Structure 1
């Protein structure tokens, strides 16, 4: 088995297949063959989206013109439309004093090269006097992930935040600017058992088909990974109503969890849409480092770095590989300054474009950045700091 990390033979090579901890020592510098990366930050491009206080939007809830992206722009989804990359990003106005107390809306940006973007003047998804008002006001619409079906229906999962309970909501569109809101995705499952439980961060399963990244099924159903502290899963027949995967006690089945003394020691929060590959399903996720003795001392406490975990193609709930150090971490000044000074590269958008993978991420909960992986020219991941 070719592996850019270790040259293993004999018995040790067998261990690599069945025990992914062997393949991923804590001090690894290179990536295993199944992983994506490294991702390179293009020079003189980032951040690609920053706040703009000049744009005003007539808010239907307050009937006032608000600077809808005046404070921060971050945590982006991404997809392809008409041969262009579209980034859907979270924006915050200035109605509050800290994250979680302002109103968030989803903005639209479009690019021919994936690096330079033209932005719409108004948000495309936001709280309104509609069927979702009770779930989205006053906190708003946060942290989108988006993917497209083979027949061209865009599906967005986002956090509906009413400042009481965060819930995963879903919306669909044919053009990425006009959206139909369908509401909380777990409302019907198990007689509403998980409806009032906090839920965030949905990564639907996709694959490459005819050179396009599209939503796919596994075992006859749509599949997603979701969760903030742990990684869970859910299935659906219609992309709107989702049924969480549970254990034999009827509780949410934890697929991966935080690990003591690692970069993901506090949270393992799902990132962009998962990708089905010949080696397995890759879930990209955001690992938060624990601020105390339980964290990895090489990274700032409470910092967010990006990880990857490999799940089985035949059993998508079974993890068979996992990176033990992040492939992307806060390194640039704009990734360590803003409203989250501990450092954040929060990945939510990943698209296949012109034979390359473009990864879009939130920078310190303040701006949007991009990093690019060229499979024809594999690069090293971000270097791991030393103590």
Structure 2
């Protein structure tokens, strides 16, 4: 079995263009995925794109399903979920998976939800179907502690594991509200590097990341050796006090030689709610990215639309930032 973990990239990665036939996956039937389907992890296995996606029925108890595609756009999904609630800390949902493949093992982070506390959890597998759960990772850690909306206790989501060691350790970047780092010797037991009041990446007033930031996709390595991650940022009360949210997608980079510092963040979103599905749903006005792969020469970013459907945006490396300017320059050179 071969698995593509990361490919060379540039920062900022893009531009991305939403696929014209989105959504690529919708809820179906009267089963566990009948009401909402969104927020997928993505990886390439044996020349197929694999999505591990979150879905639920009207009860809003989330499970993780699996789907595969030979082209990255048309997916066949399996009938049964691969991960479901079993324990008290996740009794109302196994949510928002991210995945890394290291030395023959898949490391899946997900949110365990009991409708009171969100806990970042870890599960491992060698075949993507039989999973060993290792429980919550960060008790008594509040990733909203440094924001205007502290939760006052345990709250953590969104963990991405770097698929190679840095400074002799395994590293994870995690958090909703603010983003933090943690290290491990065995990929199972993780220790946060700073107190919850000291995120390495925090919301930025006056921007699309005004109220919270959240890690999105697993990191890829840029051609000049930086770690690039797609992230999510949000503003609340966009329609007035207490009404609505607006989730958009950004990017950050980190220098592996200084893995505890944010080197750069994208100042404008590369993706924002625009279509009907992205402005209407269980939670409206949301584009939420969690999966990124390079497949057959194109970058494919998989995202949830308003917590209801699943979509993909495409970056063709032949179409770079400033393409129109370069085309005009080449025309002038040719004319002269």
Per the normalisation by structure 2, the TM-score is: 0.84
* Paired residues of 2:138 and 2:156 also in contact (CA < 8 A): no
The match for 1:204 among 154, 157, 161 is: 161
* Paired residues of 1:245 and 1:252 also in contact (CA < 8 A): no
Q: 1:293 to 1:124 in 2, by over 3 A?
A: closer
Which structure 1 residue ranges, 5 or more long, are not aligned?
1-32, 55-66, 96-101, 190-195, 206-214, 382-387
Aligned to 1:165: 117
* Paired residues of 1:233 and 1:253 also in contact (CA < 8 A): no
Match of 2:236, SS state, is: coil
Q: 1:164 to 1:375 in 2, by over 3 A?
A: same
The match for 2:300 among 355, 358, 368 is: 358
Aligned counterparts of 2:97 and 2:130: Cα–Cα separation in 1: 15
Deviation at 1:281, TM superposition (A): 1.6
Aligned to 2:165: 217
Aligned counterparts of 1:301 and 1:203: Cα–Cα separation in 2: 27
Deviation at 1:293, TM superposition (A): 10
Aligned to 2:62: 104
Deviation at 1:217, TM superposition (A): 1.2
Aligned to 2:73: 115
Aligned pairs for 1:226-241 (under 5 A) are: 226-241=174-189
Aligned counterparts of 2:322 and 2:38: Cα–Cα separation in 1: 26
Deviation at 1:292, TM superposition (A): 5.8
Equivalent residue pairs, number: 302
* Paired residues of 2:120 and 2:136 also in contact (CA < 8 A): yes
Aligned to 1:78: 42
The match for 2:132 among 180, 184, 189 is: 180
- Deviation digits for residues 233-281 of structure 1 (CA, Å, limit 9, x no counterpart): 11111111111011xxx55531111111100101101101122322522
The match for 1:87 among 51, 69, 82 is: 51
Match of 1:289, SS state, is: strand
**Stretch of structure 1 that moved more, 108-117 or 250-259:** 250-259
Deviation at 1:43, TM superposition (A): 2.2
Match of 1:76, SS state, is: strand
* Paired residues of 2:120 and 2:156 also in contact (CA < 8 A): yes
Aligned counterparts of 1:187 and 1:276: Cα–Cα separation in 2: 31
Aligned counterparts of 1:217 and 1:252: Cα–Cα separation in 2: 26
Q: 1:292 to 1:352 in 2, by over 3 A?
A: closer
Deviation at 1:38, TM superposition (A): 0.9
Aligned to 1:327: 270
Aligned counterparts of 2:185 and 2:318: Cα–Cα separation in 1: 36
Per the normalisation by structure 1, the TM-score is: 0.73
1:263 and 2:211 matched: no
Which structure 2 residue ranges, 5 or more long, are not aligned?
1-9, 142-152, 324-336
- Deviation digits for residues 146-181 of structure 1 (CA, Å, limit 9, x no counterpart): 1211x3311110001122321111111112122111
Aligned pairs for 1:281-300 (under 5 A) are: 281-291=227-237
Deviation at 1:376, TM superposition (A): 3.2
Q: 1:328 to 1:127 in 2, by over 3 A?
A: same
Q: 1:251 to 1:367 in 2, by over 3 A?
A: closer
1:135 and 2:89 matched: yes
